[in-house]
């Protein structure tokens, strides 16, 4: 292998998912140089099927990044969700309780838009980088090394942003004694099916049922995403399309089940449920963001939105550093991000524990779940609390 090809930038960003790409674009719009390094190919990054409920704060950041034009044309605006239980359904009206809404727009599309604006600006992104490694982030001269097409590369920088996901290298390079992790792994997952069929309703429906949780979601007016709770050990290949549709209908109120349009699945997978938080999020000149820092159950639609708020806090700190020669924002990054992370963890845990069937839950626990839902649908205050958390707490 030849001598390392050396490049100098201000911020080296590891990971070209939505967090890394959003950060790079916000920095670029502020005149701050960055390089993005991604282990996978661009096609692989775009092939990952993820949820896409966007808070208003996330939309504002995408607007700031210049990556919201297609979102505004194609996203579905939702002003509420429905909670289904037994034969009953109750709508939580976001607009009435908060004056705000959410947008349904797939995470893949967010990533695609961010990739496009970065490419249009001619900004450097290295895909299919092997052996990516951050170095010397506990000193004043951090750098990132990686191999690409047989050549060694070295990116010297002022700061490193680790946006490379739960299994990425950034968090793993932090000494064990310098980081604390908190984790809860659930005994169940979500079996999800993507199909080119019209959604059963105009808004998302969260269903609590003795057989397990179900969710009716969508990507567009002609493409639906449905989920049913299954044991974490289940294999998606063991579920035929017919078995999935039958199980989904069992968990919905009869009037809703009768309206479900079925069809062949485009994609089928089991997503395990996990709650995870790393603390702190700053290690010298290394900052971790997004899934590298936290995982939430998908019940509250917080994963991508939390990544966006991390990026917001970090971008603010970096702008202060370069514009005002102040590190106040960078020093506050971890505490600011973690406060919002734990708020989202609490909300996601509440929704998960209220709507799912836990293997260890006895008859007393089931009655408490029923009482919780009953209180929710009768209490305006409880519905306001759900609505303001779902549409997104302030950054």
Q: Out of 18, 78, 186, 209, which one is annotated catalytic?
A: 78
The verdict on whether 78 is a catalytic residue reads yes
The verdict on whether 221 is a catalytic residue reads no
Domain that holds residue 129: 5-78+102-182+275-351
Q: How far apart are CA 171 and CA 185, in angstroms?
A: 19
Domain membership flag for residue 88: no
Residue pLDDT, tens place only, 324-351: 999 999 999 999 999 999 999 999 999 9
Residues 121 and 59 in one domain: yes
Residues 156 and 74 in one domain: yes
For residue 29, give Cα distances in angstroms to 116, 228, 232: 15, 41, 42
Give the CATH number of the domain where residue 310 resides.
Answer: 3.50.50.60
> In a 10 Å sphere around its CB, with 0-12 CB exposed, 13-18 middle and 19+ buried, how is residue 51 labelled?
buried
What's the domain count of the chain? 2
Residues 218 and 331 in one domain: no
Beta bridge partners of 183: 276
The verdict on whether 199 is a catalytic residue reads no
Q: Out of 126, 206, 287, 313, which one is annotated catalytic?
A: 206
Domain membership flag for residue 324: yes
Residues 120 and 151 in one domain: yes
Q: Mark 129-161 as b/e (b = at least 16 C-beta within 10 Å).
A: beebebbebeeeebbbbbbbeeeebebebbbbb
Give the CATH number of the domain where residue 193 resides.
Answer: 3.30.9.10
| pTM (global) more than 0.85 | yes
The verdict on whether 390 is a catalytic residue reads yes
The verdict on whether 72 is a catalytic residue reads no
Q: Residue for token digits 């199909």?
A: 195
Residue by residue, pLDDT tens for the chain (395 residues) are: 457 788 999 999 999 999 999 999 999 999 999 999 999 999 999 987 676 899 999 999 999 999 999 999 999 999 999 999 988 999 999 999 999 999 999 899 999 999 999 999 999 999 999 999 999 999 999 999 999 999 999 999 999 999 999 999 999 999 999 999 999 999 999 999 999 999 999 999 999 999 999 999 998 999 999 999 999 999 999 999 999 999 999 999 999 999 999 999 999 999 999 999 999 999 999 999 999 999 999 998 999 999 999 999 999 999 999 999 999 999 999 999 999 999 999 999 999 999 999 999 999 999 999 999 999 999 999 999 999 999 999 99
Listing DSSP states for 90-124 in one string gives EEEEHHHHHS--EEE--HHHHHHHHHHHHHHTT--
What is the distance of C-alpha 69 from the center of its chain? 21
Residue pLDDT, tens place only, 246-297: 999 999 999 999 999 999 999 999 999 999 999 999 999 999 999 999 999 9
Long-range contact pairs involving 330-335 (C-beta distance under 8 Å, separation at least 24): 330/159, 330/282, 330/287, 331/282, 333/281, 333/282, 333/287, 334/279, 334/280, 334/281, 334/282, 334/287, 335/280
- Contact at 8 Å (CB) between 166 and 295? yes
Q: Out of 142, 209, 298, 313, which one is annotated catalytic?
A: 298
pLDDT at 89: 95
Residues 251 and 280 in one domain: no
Domain membership flag for residue 289: yes
């Amino acid at each position: 292998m030849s001598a390392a090809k050396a490049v100098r930038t201000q911020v080296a960003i590891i990971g070209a998912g939505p967090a890394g790409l959003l950060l790079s674009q916000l920095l670029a719009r502020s005149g701050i140089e960055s390089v993005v390094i991604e282990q996978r190919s661009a096609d692989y990054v775009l092939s990952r099927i993820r949820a896409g409920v966007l808070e208003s704060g996330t939309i504002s950041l995408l607007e700031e990044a210049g990556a919201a034009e297609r979102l505004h044309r194609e996203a579905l605006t939702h002003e509420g969700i429905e909670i289904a239980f037994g034969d009953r359904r109750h709508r939580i009206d976001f607009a009435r309780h908060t004056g705000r809404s959410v947008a349904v727009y797939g995470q893949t599309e967010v990533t695609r838009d961010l990739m496009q604006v970065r490419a249009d600006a001619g900004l450097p992104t290295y895909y299919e980088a092997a052996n990516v490694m951050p170095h010397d982030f506990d000193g004043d001269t951090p750098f990132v090394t990686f191999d690409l097409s047989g050549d060694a590369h070295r990116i010297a920088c002022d700061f490193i942003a680790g946006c490379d996901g739960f299994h990425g290298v950034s968090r793993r390079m932090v000494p064990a004694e310098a980081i604390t992790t908190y984790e809860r792994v659930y005994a169940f997952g979500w079996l999800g099916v993507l199909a080119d069929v019209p959604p059963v309703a105009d808004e998302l429906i969260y269903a609590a049922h003795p057989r397990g949780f179900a969710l009716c979601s969508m990507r567009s007016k002609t493409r639906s995403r449905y989920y049913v709770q299954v044991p974490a050990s289940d294999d998606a290949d063991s579920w035929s399309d017919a078995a999935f549709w039958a199980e989904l209908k069992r968990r919905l109120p009869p009037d809703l089940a009768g309206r479900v349009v079925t069809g062949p699945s485009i994609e089928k997978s089991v997503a395990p449920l996990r709650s995870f938080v790393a603390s702190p999020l700053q290690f010298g000149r290394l900052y971790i963001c997004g899934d590298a820092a936290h995982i939430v159950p998908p019940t509250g639609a917080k994963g991508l939105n939390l990544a966006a708020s991390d990026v917001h806090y970090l971008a603010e700190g970096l702008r202060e550093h370069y514009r005002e020669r102040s590190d106040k924002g960078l020093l506050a990054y971890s505490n600011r991000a973690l406060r919002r992370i734990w708020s989202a963890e609490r909300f996601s845990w509440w929704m998960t524990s209220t709507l799912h069937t836990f293997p260890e839950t006895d008859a007393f626990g089931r009655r408490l779940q029923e009482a919780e839902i009953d209180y929710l649908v009768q209490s305006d205050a409880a519905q306001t609390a759900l609505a303001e958390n779902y549409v997104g707490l302030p950054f």
